[in-house]
């Protein structure tokens, strides 16, 4: 039977019009808006018999590489973090831009398959090309993206319908480095957007993306952009490599030359996080790939009290904390979206009022669920199931014999909290040297 995508999308549009006339079918108002970059991911699967040691074996001129069926999914922070929150059970609204082309219609269809309201906040821009990525992601090899930003490059602060944020608790924005208008001119659009959302009383969260040195983002004054934006950002959650590109390219080059791409260097992370906290963030987290996640919080109770949405249930428990959460042991099928899903786990935990140890454990657990599937979000289950798996004795990578300790606001070892002890000391909480 011939599949006509145009006919299918017309039927979906008529269905959405009827639903709109009846009113939204959301049983509860969204607690979170996830806005920013959205694209279509095309992810070739890999035959089980094909072993790849490094991508250089594949990416050779004139070579044909036979792969398996493609996994087609929506990607980018909007889809990955937003759909992961939805699957965890958090009411969420998605906000992004696509073109009126086949790729854009496919993105809307994929989102509609996850939840019939999820695509409602996505704007369709006539005449614009939609964003897509070809994700080369063999098992046990870090992925490479071939990416077209498309309509994401046109996103500006006024594209956010601020009136729809009323009553929500958290606003998460992802991937400004691949959204040209949000990072040029010193990030004025990015700062303007976050300032307005912060003024509305929501908690604010910002994720970054890999930066192509040859693209316009590679020429941005990132320290200047962050100094302008971070006073309005409660949670700043980039990867360590993204942070090094923005703040210390010499160190990034040294680590890449030495083959230490994702090493959890405690002194380095402590220094970088301190700078970002001084520029205004309340909480700084670095995604570390297969080494988990690092987090450091402000020592200022006054700054933490300004975190919106009531997501820090116990400010003193969060004050002046520094911790490293190692990954859970899983069989990795693909790493696409792992960082985005880890962020979704952290945000979901904060919305549930969890303390720092429990929230960090939940974050890396959701990231582990993600990598058990080839695509970004199909491995994510409800938050209750994630917590049950943790309590059932889910093994941590490198957890045997690990010493678990905490560095509090006064700099002294404070021990682990009760939640961490109940979870078999699964969160390794450290000082300067995780």
The count of other CB atoms within 10 Å of the CB of residue 196 is: 16
pLDDT, position 145: 84
For 110, counting Cβ atoms within 10 Å of its Cβ (0-12 exposed, 13-18 middle, 19+ buried), the class is buried
Mean pLDDT rounded to a whole number for the chain: 85
Q: Which residue has better confidence, 153 or 261?
A: 153
421 has a pLDDT exceeding 90? no
**Any idea which of 46-50, 240-244, 286-290 has the lowest mean pLDDT?**
46-50
Unique residue bearing structure tokens 């021990």: 415
Residue-wise pLDDT for 249-273, tens only, equals 999 999 888 766 556 789 999 999 9
Residue 377 scores a pLDDT above 90: yes
Q: C-alpha distances in angstroms, 43 versus 12, 112, 140, 214?
A: 25, 20, 15, 24
Confidence bin at 44 (pLDDT 50/70/90):
confident
Q: How far apart are the first and last CA of the chain?
A: 57
Res 114 pLDDT > 80: yes
CATH code of residue 81: 3.40.1190.20
Q: Does residue 226 lie within any of the structural domains? A: yes
Tell me: pLDDT of 112 over 70.
Answer: yes
Name, in order, each residue with C-beta under 8 angstroms of 280's C-beta and a sequence gap of 6 or more.
Answer: 227, 230, 231, 232, 233
The pTM of the full predicted model, rounded to 2 decimals, is 0.85
Buried b (16+ CB within 10 A) or exposed e, 5-33: eeeebeebeeebeeeeeeeeeeeeebbbb
279, 285, 289, 291: CA torsion to nearest 10: 120
On whether residue 8 sits in a domain, the answer given is no
Torsion sign, CA atoms 345, 351, 355, 356: positive
pLDDT tens for each residue of 63-75:
888 888 998 989 9
pLDDT tens for 201-248 read: 999 999 999 999 999 999 999 999 999 999 999 999 999 999 999 999
What pLDDT does residue 5 have? 45
CA distance 114 to 122: 14
Q: Is residue 21 part of a domain?
A: no
pLDDT of residue 27: 57
Residue 14 is assigned to a structural domain of this protein: no
Contact 317, 417 (CB under 8 A): yes
Contacts of 274 (CB under 8 A, 6+ apart): 296
> Is residue 56 included in any domain, yes or no?
no
Evaluate if residue 25 carries a pLDDT over 50.
Answer: no
- Which range marks the domain in which residue 89 is found? 28-46+67-422
Calculated CA dihedral for residues 148, 151, 154, 158, nearest 10 degrees: -140
Question: How many domains does the chain contain in total?
Answer: 1
Is 238 within a domain? yes
Question: DSSP assignment, residue 176?
Answer: G
Backbone angles phi, psi at 410, to 5 degrees: -90, 0
| CA pair distance 279, 266, nearest whole angstrom | 20
Which pLDDT tens digit goes with each residue over 118-149? 999 999 999 999 999 998 877 766 678 889 99
Q: Is residue 4 part of a domain?
A: no
Region label for 265, one of left (φ > 0), alpha (ψ between -120 and 50) or beta (otherwise): beta
Q: Is residue 11 situated within a structural domain? A: no
pLDDT digits (tens, 9 = 90+) for 345-370: 999 999 999 999 999 999 999 999 99
Q: What is the DSSP string of 265-309?
A: -HHHHHHHHHHHHHTT-SEEEEE-GGG-EEEEE-S-HHHHHT-GG
3-state DSSP of 255-273: HHHCCCCCCCCHHHHHHHH
Question: Rounded to an integer, what distance in angstroms lies between the CA atom of residue 111 and that of residue 86?
Answer: 11
């Amino acid at each position: 039977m011939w599949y006509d995508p145009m006919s299918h999308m017309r039927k979906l549009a008529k269905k959405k019009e009827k639903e709109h006339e009846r009113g939204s079918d959301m049983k509860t108002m969204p607690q979170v808006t996830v806005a920013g970059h959205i694209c279509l991911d095309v992810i070739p699967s890999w035959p089980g018999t094909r072993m790849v040691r490094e991508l250089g074996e594949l990416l050779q001129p004139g070579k044909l590489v036979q792969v398996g069926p493609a996994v087609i999914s929506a990607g980018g922070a909007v889809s990955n973090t937003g759909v992961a929150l939805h699957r965890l059970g958090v009411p969420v609204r998605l906000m992004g831009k696509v073109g009126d082309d086949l790729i854009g219609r496919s993105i809307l269809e994929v989102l509609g398959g996850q939840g019939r309201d999820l695509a409602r906040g996505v704007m369709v821009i006539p005449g614009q090309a939609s964003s897509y990525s070809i994700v080369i992601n063999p098992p046990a090899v870090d992925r490479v993206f071939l990416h077209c930003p498309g309509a994401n490059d046109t996103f500006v602060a006024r594209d956010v319908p601020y009136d729809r944020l009323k009553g929500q608790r958290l606003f998460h924005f992802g991937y400004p480095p691949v959204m040209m208008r949000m990072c040029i001119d010193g990030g004025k659009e990015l700062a303007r957007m976050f300032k307005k959302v912060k003024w509305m009383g929501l908690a604010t969260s910002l994720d970054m993306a890999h930066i192509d040195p040859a693209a316009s983002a590679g020429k941005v004054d990132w320290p200047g952009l962050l100094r302008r934006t971070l006073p309005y950002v409660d949670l700043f959650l980039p990867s360590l490599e993204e942070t090094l590109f923005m703040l210390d390219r010499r160190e990034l080059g040294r680590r890449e030359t030495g083959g230490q791409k994702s090493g959890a260097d405690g002194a380095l992370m402590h220094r970088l996080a301190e700078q970002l906290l001084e520029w205004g963030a309340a909480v700084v987290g670095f995604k570390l790939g297969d080494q988990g996640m690092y987090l450091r919080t402000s020592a200022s109770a006054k700054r933490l009290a300004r975190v919106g949405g009531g997501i820090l249930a116990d400010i003193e428990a969060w004050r002046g904390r520094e911790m490293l959460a190692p990954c859970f042991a899983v069989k990795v099928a693909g790493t696409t979206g792992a960082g985005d899903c880890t962020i979704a786990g952290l945000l979901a935990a904060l919305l549930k009022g969890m303390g720092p140890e429990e929230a960090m454990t939940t974050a890396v657990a959701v990231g582990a669920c993600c990598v058990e599937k080839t695509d970004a979000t199909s491995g994510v289950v409800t938050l209750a199931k994630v917590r049950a798996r943790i309590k059932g004795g889910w093994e941590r990578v490198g957890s045997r014999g690990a010493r678990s300790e905490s560095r509090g606001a006064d700099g002294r070892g404070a021990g682990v909290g009760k939640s961490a002890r109940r979870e078999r000391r699964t969160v390794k909480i450290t000082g300067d040297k995780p």
